[in-house]
Structure 1
Amino acid sequence: MTRLTRRAILYGLGAGSLAALAGCASDGGPGGDDGDGGDGTDGTDGDGGSDAAPETEAHQVGGALSGPAWNREERRGFCALFTEESGAAWLLRDAPAETRAFVEATDFDESVLAYVESVGPTTCHNAISFADVAVEDGTLVASASVRGPGDDDVACGEAITFSGAFLRVTAEARPDAIRASVTDGWGETSELNGADGVLDPERLDGYVRPDGDPETVPAGFDCEAADFERHPAVYEGGVSWGSGGGVGGDGRGLELRVVDPDGDGGSEAAAFERGDRVRVELTNASGHEAYVGNQGKYNLELRTEAGWTEIRGAEEGTTFDYTDEAIGVRPGETLSWEFELTESGLVEGGPHADALRVCPDLVPGRYRFVFWGADDLAVAFDYVG
């Protein structure tokens, strides 16, 4: 997780630096052999109607730079197109020096970088082969396959092995999208879609909010203390339930969920009791790094007949200041908050814990967490007391 000032993220990074995979098409079989046995590409033109054959150069990474963030049981790999060097920065954090040098040597005024990850069954399945590379109407098309040992006499260890590779593509007109078929080391080819990122949001633990209306909606949540002033609702207007983007208008891809830490982590909404623990998880499911504010930037609210009401407050006149910073969240990375469902447990360890308190005591109803350090993301859960 990296930290940058807001100025750095807004002025130092290109929000459009990653062109996500647009409809990776499957041809139902392996992507093809290496044409020259050298850089993993055959350098041939694609189907009729494509632009002139692009110049290509491949670089094998030796592993999966994303982590891998994706689950091999759910998909065959991950791929993306980078049109600016800053877009690939999150992948290079732990990359070998040779890989960083390959990316830095790319002239993004003339070229783009495609990146592909996949997986195979042995230690010899450790490289990606590209074939049928072409540019068609502004879209880079290619096949990518995991390379095996290629020789029955080679001794290979039986171990799940992830591999990744960059492909530098130089064409008369730079592509701004990519379409590819990716074949893993078992010979299975599937369609990937970079717009879906490195994780499937539907497979994340937890839920966004319970179905239907809450059983209990209190008339209000009034504190009898004369000097009590509620923490303001810092967000404006509506909220984004479960899904949204980060600061700086960097699109979507952040997923917020309620998770029962004492349950099975499933998608069924839990009804929490007093003293239970509830966890909120923010996951970057996209294929690019997202930036959020510090984790203290949230509201805790109860749904009343008058609307959503912040449950925390402090002595009248208290100033609530928050640092203005941007935290980088890598694809597949998760930030979390965990609370004990008691008056003290909902402020302990949080922002301004020495000043904030819950008033009045908790009542049964539907509560929500709004993280305004991103795209005003919200989740909700029911508390039964």
Structure 2
Amino acid sequence: MDHTRRDALAGSALALSVATAGCLDFAAGDGPQGPEGTPATLTCDDDGFVRLGQPFEASVTETLVETDETTVELSTEGATETYGQSLRLVLRNTGDAPAATLGESAYSLQRETGEGWLDIRGSTSGEAVELPRTEASLDTSSAYSWDITLTESGIADAVDGVDLEVCPPLGDGTYRFVYWGLVDAPPIGAEFELVG
């Protein structure tokens, strides 16, 4: 088969355009752009950003909590999650009695830092905001489920009725989801590694 100079140039142009497209995708912000590993703390360049506080003092129980009346279990699909994919979690009442809760929005999304666990979300209004708390009952064999897209906007938009932002941007590191809405029970959480 005969190859002409025109064929060689066309092949080179195609290879260059594919390589450039990959660079443009990266430059456009695909993948986590925040600090990697375990940062000393989480800082935000927006002076009006007020980070969500930690609404619980008790230590976090991992995946299973027993109350005086029932048992509640938190499950997730894996211990490693990819930026841009969905974090899927289910909180199930596996016991024999209803569990009093503060609703589905009573959770924190935290990152491990040198100062401890800090929520990655906050308000840019310059004032602190609180997540909605609605007294509810998680009946036996019932569940709350979350499907949170692991991007800044996906996390910020996951709670209806509250204007939240994620700052700084997400970066590769250790995170955890903590449901603190179980009444008369410690918070329950699941850790995961976020990768690009």
TM bucket, shorter chain: 0.7 to 0.9
Q: TM-score, normalised by structure 1?
A: 0.38
Q: Is the 8 A contact 1:320 1:352 kept in 2?
A: no
Q: Which of 60, 70, 73 does residue 255 from structure 1 map onto?
A: 73
Q: Give 1:236 deviation, angstroms.
A: 1.2
Name which structure has the greater RCO, CA cutoff 8 Å, separation 6+: 2
State the AA in 2 paired with 1:377: I
Q: SS at 2:155's partner residue? A: coil
Query: Mind listing any 5+ residue stretches in structure 2 that lack a counterpart?
Result: 1-35
Q: Quick check: 373-382 or 337-346, which moved more?
A: 373-382
Q: Give 1:328 deviation, angstroms.
A: 2.2
Per-residue CA deviations over 1:182-202 (Å, capped at 9, x if unaligned) read: xxxxxxxxxxxxxxxxxxxxx
Q: What is the correspondence of 1:228-239 to structure 2 with a 5 Å cutoff?
A: 228-239=49-60
Q: Give 1:324 deviation, angstroms.
A: 4.2
Counterpart Cα distance in 1 of 2:194 and 2:133: 31
Q: SS at 2:152's partner residue? A: coil
Q: Is the 8 A contact 1:230 1:310 kept in 2?
A: yes
Q: Give 1:251 deviation, angstroms.
A: 4.0
Moved >3 Å (runs of 4+)? 249-252
Counterpart Cα distance in 2 of 1:250 and 1:229: 36
Root mean square deviation of aligned Cα:
2.0
Matched, 1:357 2:165: yes
Counterpart Cα distance in 2 of 1:288 and 1:231: 32
Counterpart Cα distance in 2 of 1:292 and 1:308: 23
Per-residue CA deviations over 1:310-344 (Å, capped at 9, x if unaligned) read: 1000022143253441x222222221011011000
Matched, 1:322 2:132: yes
Q: Which of 190, 196, 219 does residue 40 from structure 2 map onto?
A: 219
Q: What is the correspondence of 1:112-191 to structure 2 with a 5 Å cutoff?
A: none
State the AA in 1 paired with 2:121: R
Matched, 1:366 2:177: no
Counterpart Cα distance in 2 of 1:340 and 1:286: 30
Query: What is the match of residue 21 of structure 2?
Result: none
Per-residue CA deviations over 1:265-292 (Å, capped at 9, x if unaligned) read: xxxx342111111111101111222221
Q: TM-score, normalised by structure 2?
A: 0.73
Aligned residue-pair number? 157
Query: What is the match of residue 379 of structure 1?
Result: 190
Q: SS at 2:148's partner residue? A: strand
State the AA in 1 paired with 2:145: S
Matched, 1:284 2:132: no
Query: Mind listing any 5+ residue stretches in structure 1 that lack a counterpart?
Result: 1-214, 260-268
Query: What is the match of residue 179 of structure 1?
Result: none
Q: Is the 8 A contact 2:122 2:166 kept in 1?
A: yes
State the AA in 2 paired with 1:373: G
Counterpart Cα distance in 2 of 1:290 and 1:221: 34
Q: SS at 1:344's partner residue? A: helix
